Amino acid sequence: MAISRRALIVSGLVAGGGLAVGLLARRLDDGDAAAAFAASTPGAVALNAWVKVAPDGAVTCGVHRAEMGQGVSTALPMLLAEELDADWRRIGVEFTPVDRDYFNFALLLRGQPLGDTTGRPVARFAERLVRGAAHALGSSMTVGSTSIVDAWDQLRPAGAAARALLLAAAARRWQVDVNRLQTDAGQVLDPATGRRAGYGELAAAAAQETVPADLALREPREFRLLGTSPPRLDVPAKVTGSAGFGIDVRQPGMLHATVRHSPLTGTRLAGIDNLAEVAGMAGVTGVVRLGRTAVAVVAGDTWTALRAAQRLSLQAEPTDRQAADSEVQFAAWRAALDDTTAVVVREEGDVAAALRAAPTVLEARYEQPYLAHLCMEPMNCTALVEPQAVTVWVPTQAESLVRDVAAQAAGVAPSRVTVHRTFLGGGFGRRAETDFVSHAVRVAGAFPGRPVKLTYAREEDVRADMYRPATVARVRAALDGTGRIAAFDYALVSQSVTASYFARTPTPRGGDARGDEAALAGAVNLPYTGFPHLRVAWLPQDSPVPVGYWRSTGSSQNCFVVEAFMDELAAAAGADPVAFRLAHLAGQPRHQAVLREAAARAGWDAPRPPGRGLGVALTGSQGSIVAQVVEVAVAGDAIRVERVVCVIDPRVVVHPGIVEAQVQGAIVDGLAAALTGRITFRGGAVEQGNFDDCRWPVLGEVPPIEVHLLPGGGRPGGVGEPAVPAVAPALVNAIHAATGRRERRLPLRA
C-alpha cells in the first residue's frame, strides 16, 4: 500500500481541486463526444466515444489522433477491434470531433506519471485521479510518439467495454447468464444453444446497458489481430485520390489567401510600401493586415493570391535585438560554454576533481544547425466565420488548441467553433503550431459568410517556420586505468523549445527555459551505467529565431553528441565500439540485446575494403530502444551511404508493417538532417526557401534500410521518432571507420 511523496502530492492537488468526485468510474467520458461521433452516421449507435455500430453490423472506429502517414488510422482501430472482437473486414474509420474525452494522457510522463502502479493500489487510485484531471483539461494532441502509448490504456478498454455491452444485451434478450456467451468476428454466440446475433442487431439495446466494473482485457498471448499486418485502412483512399487533406478542401463560394511575414526573423512588420498597388491587381479580392505580425492577400484562386503576395514590398520593424546571423550566433554560443550560470540538470560525484586526476581526458565540441520541418503539404487552413460561429477545416496535430485559437481569433466561445480534421501531408511537430489557423480565421473574419482557404507558399513555409534549435555542445570524459569511463561532463548551449512554444501558445507546462529538461533528452537519461562522476548541464539562450518541436527534437541533437563521443572514447581506450558500449550497459539487458542484434545483423566483425566503414549508435527515447549500424563508402569528400541496419525494441508491436515503415521514414529524415539539412541566417533573414536549397533525399538516393523488430514486452513505446537520433552518430562513426576523420559539425554536405 506504499505510495510515494510525489503520488501523494499529485493526488492531493487533484482531489483538492474538486476533481476527485466521480472520477473512479470506468468510463472517463461525459457522453458529449459519443453523441457527436454517432451523429455523423445516421442510424448508427455509439457504444462510447470510439465505437459505433450500424444496423448492418458495420463498425466505425473513431480515430482521435492526427493521421500524418504514421498509420494511426489503422493501428488505433486494431486496438479497438482486438478487444471488441470485431470482424476486421467490416471496420471503417472516422476522425473524431474535438472533445475533452479525447485527451492525450501519455503527454504526462508517457501515461505513467506515478510510475508502474502494479501492486500499488494507492498509487493506482492516485493515477486515476490524475487521469481525471487530464480529462478535465482535455488537451488533445498528436506529438512525441504518444498515440499508441496513450491508446493502449484508452482504446483497449473502450473496445472491451463495447464488447461487454453487446454481451449484456444478448444475455438479456436470451435470458441467459452472460458468462456463458462468447463473441467472434462481430457476433455474440451462445455455445449451449447455437444461437447467434450480429453486433448490428444488438447495438441499440447494448447502448442501454451498463459497463461492468470488473472489465477484463486480453493478455498478449490471446491476441488475434494485434501483432499482424492487415492492409492499412487509409491506403485505398490515398491511392484513389479521395483522401481529404487540408489543401484539398473545397467549399461553395470559397476565397483563397496566402500570407507574408516580416522579411527579418523575429521582427514585426513596420510597413508595406505598395499596399494599394497590390490590392488593385486583377483578381485580388483584398489585402488584410493581421496586426503587425503578417499581411494576407485574398483572391479568387491560390495562384493569383501567391503572385500578388510576392509583389508586396515589406518593411521590417527596427529592433534592438541581435539580428539573427548564423556565424555570429555560433561564435557567441561557443563562448557561452564557459558560462558559470549553467543549469545543472543532473550531477553525481565530483566531475571536476575526477577530470583533474584522470590519466586520460578527452574533450570535443559538436555543432548542429537549425532545421526546418519541410512538410510536403504546406501549412494551410480553411475557415468560415459567421455570426457567433466559426468552422475550420485543418490538418493539425493539436485540434483542441485549434479550437481555442480559432475562438480567440474570432472573438467567440470555444463551444461555437467546429473543427473538421483532415489528413496531414506531414507533421513532424510543425502542425502542433497554430499560426496558420489564427491567420486563416482572422482573414475569414474580414469576409463573413464566405469560406477562405489560406495556404502558405513554400518559401513562406520555410522562412516563417519554428525550427529545430541549433546547438553547440561540449563533452568531456575521463578514462580510468582499465579503459572505463570514470567521469562524464556534458554541456549544451541552445534554445528552449518549451519556452518558445509557450510564448506563442500558452500551455499548462509553462515557459521556464531554465527548467526545460526536455532540451537534454538523450543526455540526461543516458543508457550507460557505472559512471562514478557525471554532470549534465545546459545554458539556455535567447534568440529572435522561433524554435519548435521537430521529429525527436532534443533526443536527435544530444544522441548525435553522446554517441559520436562514445566512439572517440572507445578509440582512446583501444576498444571495439560495440564492446565498449556493452561494457557500460551493466543492468540494461534490453539495450544489450538490441545492440548485439544490430551488430550481428550488420556483420559487424566482417572485414571491409579500404574506404568503407561501419558505424554504430545506440539510443533510447519515447520508451523504445534503437541500435543502428550505418555502412558508408568514402572517396575524398564524397560520402555514399551504402546500407542502414536498424534494430528496435518498441516493447509492443501492434502492426509490424507500420512499425517498419515508420522506422524507415525516420531514418531517411535522420540521413537528410545529417547530410544536407540546415537553416542559416544572414543579416536577420533566412537564406533558404525551397527544396532546391533545403535538400532532402529523393528515392534514388535512399540506401537499403533493414529494420528488425525485437519487442521486449510490457506497455508500448513510441515508434515515429525513436529511429531518428541514432542515424547521424552512426553515420559519422562510419566515416571515421572508413577514413580516420572525425566529423563534429552537421550537416556533412554543407
Domains of the chain: residue spans and CATH: 31-104+140-232 (3.30.365.10), 246-318+379-455 (3.30.365.10), 326-371+467-739 (3.30.365.10)
What is the rounded CA–CA span in Å between residue 276 and residue 269? 16
Say whether pLDDT at 746 is over 90: yes
pLDDT (average), residues 601-606: 98
In the chain, the N- to C-terminal Cα span, in Å, equals: 58
Q: What is the rounded distance in angstroms from the CA atom of residue 706 to the CA atom of residue 645?
A: 5
Residues 51, 158 contacting (CB under 8 angstroms): yes
pLDDT-derived band at 29 (thresholds 50, 70, 90) equals low
Instruction: Return d(Cα 473, Cα 557) in angstroms, integer.
Output: 9
Q: Once rounded to an integer, what is the mean pLDDT over residues 486-493?
A: 98
For residue 563, name the pLDDT band (cuts at 50, 70, 90): very high
- Look at residue 560 in the predicted model and tell me its pLDDT: 98
| DSSP string of 609-666, one letter each residue | -TTEEEEEEEEEETTEEEEEEEEEEEETTEEEEEEEEEEEE-S--S-HHHHHHHHHHH
Measure CA 714 to chain center.
21
The overall pTM is greater than 0.85: yes
Band (pLDDT 50/70/90 cuts) for residue 66 is: very high
pLDDT in the model for residue 525: 95
pLDDT digits (tens, 9 = 90+) for 324-358: 899 999 999 999 999 999 999 999 999 999 999 99
Residue pair 255/450 in contact (Cβ under 8 Å)? The answer is yes
Q: Is the dihedral of CA 11, 15, 17, 23 positive or negative?
A: positive
Average pLDDT of 375-400?
A: 97
CA geometry: angle at 450 spanning 446 and 455, to 5°? 75
Residue 15 reports pLDDT greater than 50: no
- The whole-angstrom separation of Cα 509 and Cα 502 is 8
At residue 161 the predicted structure's pLDDT band, cuts being 50, 70 and 90, is: very high
Half-sphere exposure of 428 (CA within 13 A, CB side): 24
Percent of the chain with pLDDT over 70: 95
Q: CA of 587: how far to CAs of 313, 483, 562, 651, 714, in Å?
A: 62, 19, 20, 17, 18
Averaged pLDDT for residues 226-234:
97
Give dist(CA 323, CA 45) in Å, integer: 58
**Closest to 688 (Cα-Cα) out of 291, 245, 369:** 369
CA–chain centroid gap for 239, Å, is: 25
Model confidence at 622: pLDDT above 70: yes
Q: Model confidence over 281-316: pLDDT tens digits?
A: 999 999 999 999 899 999 999 999 999 999 999 999
Amino acid 464: pLDDT: 97
Q: What is the pLDDT of residue 23?
A: 34
